[in-house]
Amino acid sequence: MGRTAGTYTCLVLLVLGFICFTSLYLRYLTSISFMKNLPMATEGAPILITNLDSTLDFRARPAVQTLTSWHAPIIWELMFDPKLYDKRHQEGNTTVALTVFAVGRYLDAYLNTFLTSAEKHFMIGLPVTYYVFTDLPEKVPKFELAPQRDLKVVKVQKNSRWQDISMMRMKTISETIETELEGKFSYLFCFDVDQEFKGRFGSEALGESVALLHAHFYKLPKERFTYDKQPKSKAYMKEGDYYYHAAIFGGSLEKVKALADFCHVSIMEDKMNEVEALWHDESHLNKYFWLNKPSRLLSPEYCWDPIIGDKSDIMVTRLIWEPKQYNMVRTR
């Protein structure tokens, strides 16, 4: 009797062990096949950072898409190990520049909140330089920046049409990369000012060419994407992959310059042809990312509009849209 029970237990343990082993092995195999599909590191990227994305867990968020058809990761909370990303970027001496425009009334309305909150949440642990573009340099608030963080103010002209304030950012960004930034930074991020950081916006967001999924569109069918539909415009698109939000884009300096140049040249051509894209610079940005696929996508956790009722996919709000101030409304 005792012997039979012993043999039986032994058998059950063996079977359990086998099941455990096979499932672990299968998991390992699938993770390897995921890795094979990941974008290859480009030349020049520090070796330490090269294989970081092979640590991403693409199954951490079953309810949302975490990989594009061209194998770019879409970054959501739980997919990445923040400490590991920070450590590797620190070891690789990654440096980050951030551009933000605060022209006219937008300076008083938004800049202070944007910068104060960025000091708490944006790329903490890495050297960061803010570039603030404004027509009112003397009105930029004085800041106590954390060590390794710097702020530069660049004076720009104020365009009279609001569409031009927004669109001409592309020209200024391109020129600034060429004259100021090239060679000094590993990555550049460009932000709208009317937003507030609320949670970690860290090194997991860094990549060669980074686009943001628009919070209002990421769940909608493609037919509802508001691409430009005028064949006369350079931004005209028949079809696309996603609807990207122009409030945040980034990447290597080279890639951001290519994007900014593309958008600026397209905007100028449209002006010559007396056409203006539906959503201005954002329409051109969407066209650029359709023709030049981003290597990394940020989920709407990286730029959320609190007005949206369905928050079921949003585990962390890292950055939120500020409410529009009504003394500045226009037809958008």
Catalytic residue among 208, 282, 301, 322: 282
Q: How many residues are given for the chain?
A: 332
Q: Which helix (H) or strand (E) holds 290?
A: helix 281-291
66's torsion region: left (phi>0), alpha (psi -120 to 50) or beta? alpha
Among 16, 78, 307, 328, which residue sits at the site for ligand 5GW (rule: CB under 6 A)?
Answer: 328
**Burial level of 159, CB count in 10 A (0-12/13-18/19+)?**
middle
Is 136 a binder of ligand 5GW (CB under 6 A)?
no
Contact status: 192 vs Mn ion (CB under 5 A)? yes
Which stretch in 8-16, 119-127, 193-201, 212-220 sits in contact with Mn ion by CB under 5 A? 193-201
Answer with the entry of Mn ion, ligand 5GW, none that 36 interacts with (C-beta below 5 to 8 A by kind).
Answer: none
From 194, 204, 241, 281, residue interacting with Mn ion (rule: CB under 5 A): 194
**Closest CA relative to residue 51, chosen from 70, 30, 36, 67:** 36
- In the chain, how many H helices and how many E strands? 9, 10
In the bound state with ligand 5GW, the residue whose beta carbon lies nearer, of 38 and 193, is 193
Chain residue at closest Cβ approach to Mn ion: 192
Please report whether residue 208 would count as binding ligand 5GW according to CB under 6 A.
Answer: no
Can residue 330 be called a binding residue for ligand 5GW (CB under 6 A)? Answer: yes
Compare residues 101 and 187 and give the one whose CB is closer to ligand 5GW: 101
Write the DSSP string, 62-120. TTS--B-TT--BEE-TTSS-HHHHHHHHHHTT--EEEEEE--THHIIIIIHHHHHHHHH
How wide is the angle at C-alpha 106 spanned by C-alphas 316 and 281, nearest 5°? 75
Parallel, antiparallel, or unpaired for β 209-212 and 195-197?
A: unpaired
Q: Of the two residues 89 and 287, which places its CB atom closer to ligand 5GW in the complex? A: 287
- Segment contacting ligand 5GW (CB under 6 A): 97-105, 207-215, 221-229, 249-257? 97-105
Identify any residues that bridge with 210 across adjacent strands, giving them in sequence order.
250, 296
* DSSP symbol at 303: S
CB of 100 to ligand 5GW, least distance (A): 6
Query: Is 178 known to be catalytic?
Result: no
Question: Which of 34, 80, 106, 249 touches ligand 5GW (CB under 6 A)?
Answer: 106
Contact with ligand 5GW (CB under 6 A) among 97, 193, 277, 303: 193
| Binding mask of the shown chain, residues 238 to 277, with x at each position contacting ligand 5GW by CB under 6 A | ---------x------------------------------
Q: Please, are residues 274 and 265 in contact by the beta-carbon 8 Å criterion?
A: no
Q: Does residue 104 interact with ligand 5GW by CB under 6 A?
A: yes
Closest approach of ligand 5GW to the CB of residue 314, in Å: 19
Query: Residue 213 forms beta bridges with which residues?
Result: 244
Exposure of 118 in the CB half-sphere (CA atoms within 13 A): 31
Write out the catalytic residue numbers. 282
Give the residues lining the site for Mn ion (CB under 5 A). Answer: 192, 194
Binding site for ligand 5GW (CB under 6 A): 101-106, 162, 165-166, 192-194, 247, 328, 330, 332
